[in-house]
Amino acid sequence: MIETPANPNDFARRLLRRLKGRRRPEAEDGLGISEPGTISPFWVIVQKEFGDHMRSWRFGILIGIIALACIGSIYAAVTALKDGVKTQDTDTSFLFLQMFTASDGTLPAFSTFVSFLGPLMGIALGFDAINSERGKGTLSRLLSQPIYRDDFIRAKFTASLLLIAVVLFALGLLVMGLGLFTIGYPPTPEEVLRVVLFLLVGVIYVGFWLNLSMLLSIRFRQAATSALSGIALWIFFSVFYGMIASMIDKATMPPETSALDILLRHADRMLLLNRLSPAYLFSETTGTLLTPGIRSLGPLTTEQVVGAIASPLPLGQSLLLCWPQLVGLLAATMICFGLSYALFMRQEVRSRS
């Protein structure tokens, strides 16, 4: 019925087989008439949603924008790296990772693009997830089928998240491949792992925005309202939040001659304020993962640095460093999901209202 590429279908089937043992056995026993060889309604919806997204214009346009941006960023990175290598001022350790972070100044780096355009993708895939079904009158028809209500939103979320994962990993691997071609510098296993982790974090980050936009799509009955509020939040966090934070920073800055602990406390507060923004959390996390040289995300005093050897951190330590940020991102995602869950379960399902 749905011509999705074989790959996600297979993936779904495999995942299903693994989950089948645990997933709601009572639902299957109680009904007793489910035929063998049929997949659970959850995955039926996931497949359909995935197919719908793949065929939609919206997705085509989005992937076009993101792919173009990525090609641009690779070009910028490659020129930057070549110039840097020529003039000997580039640190040649972890050269491969610089594919994702370096830029010659004309275009932002790949990681910046992901942090900026990723939310757009999440919002675009989620803003009309529930309210369009409601508006089309398919929601009440769907929910009168033998499926759980939460299956429906979970399936919607899973399908979009799978799609996001496929896109991000495809782009990331493309960048790696192109990088291999152009700079001819093979990555070490650790570098590959770091890139994969970076992409995973990217999926979580975009997943947060997806969840947020789905929450809005449950809350608002009009798709346009939820899209606009989603985009407003996105612009607020990726553009204005930083400005507001720096404004507050300037306004509350203690004089430079103050005691160290006052300065430190102020810095910590500002950091906390910044970290309320998921975009900031994401940039910290990716920064740590892609730049092994980053040793701390907070302020460091000269005392603390004394005696430290300026060497890159091993992967485990980098992970440890950005772990709180990662947990923060996950928590934000969970909160959004919990809210949408609570809202949706309590909503009454009438046709087109």
Partner 1 sequence: MAMPQSQPALPDETSPVIELSRLTKRYDGQTAVSGLNLSIAKGEIFGLLGPNGAGKTTTILMMLGLTEPTSGRVRVCGLDPTRQPLQVKRRVGYMPDDIGFYEDRTALDNLLFTARLNRIAPAAARAQAAELLERVGLSDALSKKVGAFSRGMRQRLGIADVLIKRPEIIILDEPTLGIDPEGVRDLLRLIQDLSRKEGLTVLLSSHHLHQVQQICDRVGLFVRGELIASGDVASLALQLDDDRAVTVELEVSGWNAALGEQLAALEGVLVYSSTMGTSAGDGAIRVTLRCDRDLTTTAARTVIESGANLHAVQRKQYGLDDIYHRYFEGGGPVDRNAGKS
Provide the binding-site residues for partner 1, judged by CB under 8 A.
1, 26-27, 29-31, 33-41, 44-45, 48, 52, 55, 136-148, 348-352
Give the nearest distance from C-beta 263 to partner 1 in angstroms.
Answer: 53
Give the distance from CA 64 to its chain's centroid.
18
Closer of 41 and 179 to partner 1 (Cβ): 41
Nearest residue to 198 (alpha-carbon basis) of 113, 277, 121: 113
Give the nearest distance from C-beta 349 to partner 1 in angstroms.
Answer: 5
Q: Could you report how far apart the first and last alpha carbons of the chain are, in Å? A: 29
Give the distance from CA 102 to its chain's centroid.
20
List alpha helices for the chain, DSSP H: 6-20, 25-31, 41-55, 57-86, 98-101, 110-126, 131-136, 138-143, 149-183, 189-219, 223-235, 241-252, 260-274, 278-290, 302-305, 315-346
C-alpha dist (Å) from residue 20 to 15, 36, 43, 275: 8, 12, 11, 39
Closer of 141 and 265 to partner 1 (Cβ): 141
Give the nearest distance from C-beta 346 to partner 1 in angstroms.
Answer: 10
Closer of 146 and 186 to partner 1 (Cβ): 146
Q: What angle, rounded to 10 degrees, do the helices at 110-126 and 223-235 form?
A: 160
Give the nearest distance from C-beta 30 to partner 1 in angstroms.
Answer: 6
Q: What is the DSSP string of 85-125?
A: HHTT-S--TTTTTHHHH---SSS--HHHHHHHHHHHHHHHH
How far is Cα 115 from Cα 231, in angstroms, rounded to an integer?
A: 14
Closer of 38 and 257 to partner 1 (Cβ): 38
Rg (CA), the chain: 23
Matching residue, tokens 């992970």: 319
Closer of 147 and 183 to partner 1 (Cβ): 147
Closer of 48 and 221 to partner 1 (Cβ): 48
Q: What is the DSSP string of 36-49?
A: TTPPPHHHHHHHHH
Give the nearest distance from C-beta 145 to partner 1 in angstroms.
Answer: 4
Closer of 43 and 234 to partner 1 (Cβ): 43
Angle at 344 between CA 343 and CA 346, to 5 degrees: 70
Amino acid present at 348: E
Give the nearest distance from C-beta 62 to partner 1 in angstroms.
Answer: 18
Amino acid present at 217: S
Closer of 28 and 91 to partner 1 (Cβ): 28
Give the nearest distance from C-beta 338 to partner 1 in angstroms.
Answer: 16
Closer of 33 and 310 to partner 1 (Cβ): 33
Are the C-beta atoms of residues 125 and 163 closer than 8 Å to each other? Answer: yes
Give the nearest distance from C-beta 347 to partner 1 in angstroms.
Answer: 10
Give the nearest distance from C-beta 249 to partner 1 in angstroms.
Answer: 46
